[in-house]
Structure 1
Amino acid sequence: MQKNSVMESTVSTSTQVPEEYDRNVPRICGVCGDKATGFHFNAMTCEGCKGFFRRSMKRKASFTCPFSGSCSITKDNRRHCQACRLKRCLDIGMMKEFILTDEEVQRKKDLIQKRKDDEAKKEAQKPRLSEEQSTVISTLVEAHHKTYDDSYSDFSRFRPPVREGPVTRSASRAASLHSLSDASSDSFRHSPESGDGKLNLSSMLMMYQEQGSSPDSKEDDGSRLSMLPHLADLVSYSIQKVIGFAKMIPGFRELTAEDQIALLKSSAIEVIMLRSNQSFSLEDMSWCCGGPEFKYCVSDVTKAGHTLELLEPLVKFQVGLKKLNLHEEEHVLLMAICLLSPDRPGVQDHERVEVLQERVSEVLQAYIRVHHRGRLHYAKMIQKLAELRSLSEEHSKQYRTLSFQPEHSMQLTPLVLEVFGGQVT
């Protein structure tokens, strides 16, 4: 009987609530004044009066009032006169037609149970991160927080940026690119096919190239690269932070020292480029690494000796990565995958490194599934690693060129020279 009561409560509470009923008014049983639990058999009642009405109707009980037939029914005396209590039930609109038969109750019970089972099955089938995968993510996020400060508060002790000095042809052309950023920034919010007349990145870079000097014009080899000392310090500082991050990647320190060094030398600049995306702004295509004096535009990078062969794909990469709107968890997992690449030059134990990379890759794919990030999201992220390879090669090439020029190599730190293949003199 108690089970039937529960089931009928479920059904009866689904009765349409009268329009005049105010949900903010306390629910009071229309029969006895006790706290009501909902609409039962077409009236607002408590559980006690609901059960009394159901039993009375099913037994077809006939009650007689021992008094005058007009007893006042309250919470305390509702058991004293069944006749007046039943009369009160009918007076407030309770209807026997709303009472379910035992068969109907059972069918309803089975239906509710099936719904619960279906919901439980659906919940069980939802993708979830395992405890191990969650631990990997939390470890990498913690490692990132410990080795990356977006305010660059401890970088102020390095050589300050010097933006004065002769502007080379590359710097002039880069400034031209930067001046177009206002026209291009809106285009990053629209597809190239939008037809809104905005300048997109491809057309902007094409204009940028067309504005350059003739191929046979030469830069002054003696031009002072005013930003080279400062940006060399920034790269050196960032490499140290990447080393700290790598040491906290699960399994990295179990590799041989030779393989650790090989992985770091080949991937450090790529991880730095990934990290720098957090400070990259689509509004003016600059990197803000702290206060105003540590905000770098494209022309600043050219004053460190970098040319269009690096800067054009670098800007495209930063814009594309920014538009992926990566979660922090995805960002750190991508950095770890980048760093744990078994095909890096000098790596000896390829299989061991590959196992570590696959483990992190599986965690990233699981995270993407759990958070419904889209079927192609993982592929787009991995594509960014392919772009990083060519960027890294060009970056290293340009640093090696500087390292072989005595007047410039002395501006580079020993760590930068070692990582990018130069010799410490």
Structure 2
Amino acid sequence: MEPVAASTSLPDPAADLDRNLPRICGVCGDRATGFHFNAMTCEGCKGFFRRSMKRKAMFTCPFSGDCRITKDNRRHCQACRLKRCVDIGMMKEFILTDEEVQRKREMILKRKEEEALKESLKPKLSEEQQKVIEILLQAHRKTFDPTYSDFTKFRPPVRSSSRSRGTGRASSILTQDLSSEDSSDLFGSDAFSTISEPVEPPIFSNLVLSEENEDSSSMNIGFSHLSMLPHLADLVSYSIQKVIGFAKMIPGFRDLTAEDQIALLKSSAIEVIMLRSNQSFTLDDMSWTCGSSDFKYRISDVTQAGHSMDLLEPLVKFQVGLKKLNLHDEEHVLLMAICILSPDRPGVQDTSLVESLQDHLSEILQTYIQVRHPLPGSRLLYPKMIQKLADLRSLNEEHSRQYRCLSLQPQHSMHLTPLVLEVFGNEIS
């Protein structure tokens, strides 16, 4: 078998040319395949020049010695064809020996084998892993409204320290048991109704949503200096309900006992809410913009709900750091699920099962990052995400502490919903 000619190793003069333009052989005008022996030629002229140089052929033109070489007549006059090769810059010094050609072939073959091995070892998302991701994405979409239209059901935001009268709805307690197989009906037609009389503190283990749709009536809220507290209490209560809906659709979550489901949700709800709120967080002005100007929340608004800077400063820092990770939706939902399925939550009994579920989700997240998240964004992304979960623990503790302080003050606790009072007003026993 005749050796294959090598291409020149000199810099490609055509590197700056438009690669979409057709390349023409400098010898015969046929379509060129690249630079061969220092000139742009077709495969035919490349082989002709190599054979001629290796054989030290001496050709004589049967005509006048100035034949015009074309694709159709290039075989008619070898002398003029070879002369044309030399004229356009083809050089015999670039022709490899048979031994060099063989070594080059072996190197090419070895490189292909190494690339094939590398490709075979590269992690891939299995069908099962892709299915889990799709389930979590669907669960998030079903339980998170990017238009924030439900916010109009809350007691209205009042950015004032003065007393005011307001008409709105306070979150009712959950009325759908976790044992229900259908989590799509978790949210009733209207989950908000005005609390006009004392409500028996709900038992979180019931985890139910009211199906009632009562008309709201005017009431003197008595805002004191915490004018945003009723609105944000409704927002948090509503968000807890949505987190429960999301959790119920996490693969494996329903395999846990009701007691462990309750313990996980009660401990992780505010952390998942903080993760979800990052989608509405804006780096430009460090605010949460939820659909319209009516629902744009700044630090000053949250302070008017009773939270101090002990929570808000690290919360904003957390939101900024998480936003800068530029997580994909897939990574975001996996992080939320991992957050919920934490075996070290207070009150969890079957820690081994919870840990196995979390480990499985963590493995999917790491594989997804390796396969789908391009560099440099994927560099150390997984440990950075896990660090965010550790940050959330501290935020959770401070958030619960501040809500417990509010719940102990009758003038403020009256504006908190029963669900909020139960989740954040007491420690998990």
Q: Which residue of 2 aligns with 1:162?
A: 158
Are the equivalent residues in 1 in contact too, given 2:162–2:223 (CA < 8 A)? no
d(CA) in 2 for partners of 1:254 and 1:228? 37
**1:312-364: per-residue Cα shift (whole Å, max 9, x none)?**
54344444544555444433222212111123233332211111112122333
Q: 1:86 to 1:243 in 2, by over 3 A?
A: same
Using the TM superposition, give the Cα deviation of residue 239 of structure 1 relative to its aligned residue in structure 2, in angstroms. 1.1
**Residue 213 of structure 2: aligned partner:** none
When residues 43 and 246 of structure 1 are mapped into structure 2, their CA distance, relative to the original with a 3 A threshold, is same
Match for residue 419 of structure 1 among 409, 420, 423? 423
Closer, same or farther in 2 for the Cα pair 1:30/1:250, shift >3 Å? Answer: same
After TM superposition, list the pairs within 5 Å mapping 1:222-371 onto structure 2.
223=224, 225-369=226-370, 371=373
Which AA in structure 2 matches 1:300?
Answer: D
Distance 2:249 2:404 in 1: 29
Change (3 A) 1:223 1:100: closer
Q: Equivalent residue for 2:396?
A: 392
Asked if the contact 1:15–1:39 (Cα under 8 Å) also holds between the matched residues in 2, the reply is no
Identity among equivalent positions (%) equals 76
Give 1:106 deviation, angstroms: 0.8
- Unaligned 5+ runs, structure 1: 168-220
- The 8 Å contact of residues 14 and 39 in structure 1, kept in 2 or not, is answered as no
Counterpart Cα distance in 2 of 1:312 and 1:44: 64
SS at structure 2 position matched to 1:381 = helix
CA 393–23 in structure 1, closer or farther in 2 if over 3 Å, else same:
closer
Where in structure 2 are the equivalents of 1:12-411 lying within 5 Å?
12-16=7-11, 26-166=22-162, 223=224, 225-369=226-370, 371=373, 377-403=381-407, 408-411=412-415
Normalising by structure 2, we get a TM-score of 0.71
Residue 109 of structure 1 deviates from its aligned partner by: 1.5
Q: CA RMSD in A?
A: 3.5
**Cα gap change, 1:298/1:37 in structure 2, threshold over 3 Å: closer, same or farther?**
closer
Which is helix-richer, 1 or 2? 1
Give yes or no for contact 1:263–1:339 (8 Å, CA) kept in 2.
Answer: yes
Is the partner of 1:39 in helix, strand or coil? strand
Number of residue equivalences: 364
Whether the aligned pair in 2 keeps the contact of 1:342 and 1:353 (CA below 8 Å) is yes
Mapped partners of 1:288, 1:413: distance in 2 = 23
Q: 1:81 to 1:265 in 2, by over 3 A?
A: same
Cα offsets for 1:139-173 (capped at 9, x unmatched): 33343333223441232232211223449xxxxxx
* Residues 163, 226 of structure 1: 8 Å contact kept: yes
Distance 1:19 1:243 in 2: 61
Offset at residue 75 of structure 1 (A):
1.8
Counterpart Cα distance in 1 of 2:22 and 2:103: 33
Task: Give the AA of the match of 1:299.
Answer: S
Shift of 1:399: 3.4
SS at match of 1:154: helix
Which AA in structure 1 matches 2:143?
Answer: T
How far does residue 234 in structure 1 lie from its aligned partner after superposition?
0.5
After superposition, the Cα gap between the structure-2 partners of 1:64 and 1:356, relative to the gap in structure 1 and judged at 3 Å, is same
In 1, the alpha carbon distance for the partners of 2:295 and 2:422 equals 25
Whole-angstrom CA distance in 1 between matches of 2:312 and 2:101:
73
Equivalents in 1 of 2:89, 2:285: separation in Å?
Answer: 70
Q: CA deviation at 1:111?
A: 2.5
Provide the secondary structure at the position in 2 that maps to 1:278. Answer: coil
Name stretches of at least 5 consecutive residues in structure 2 with no aligned partner: 164-221
SS of aligned partner of 1:341: coil
- With normalisation by structure 1, the TM-score equals 0.72
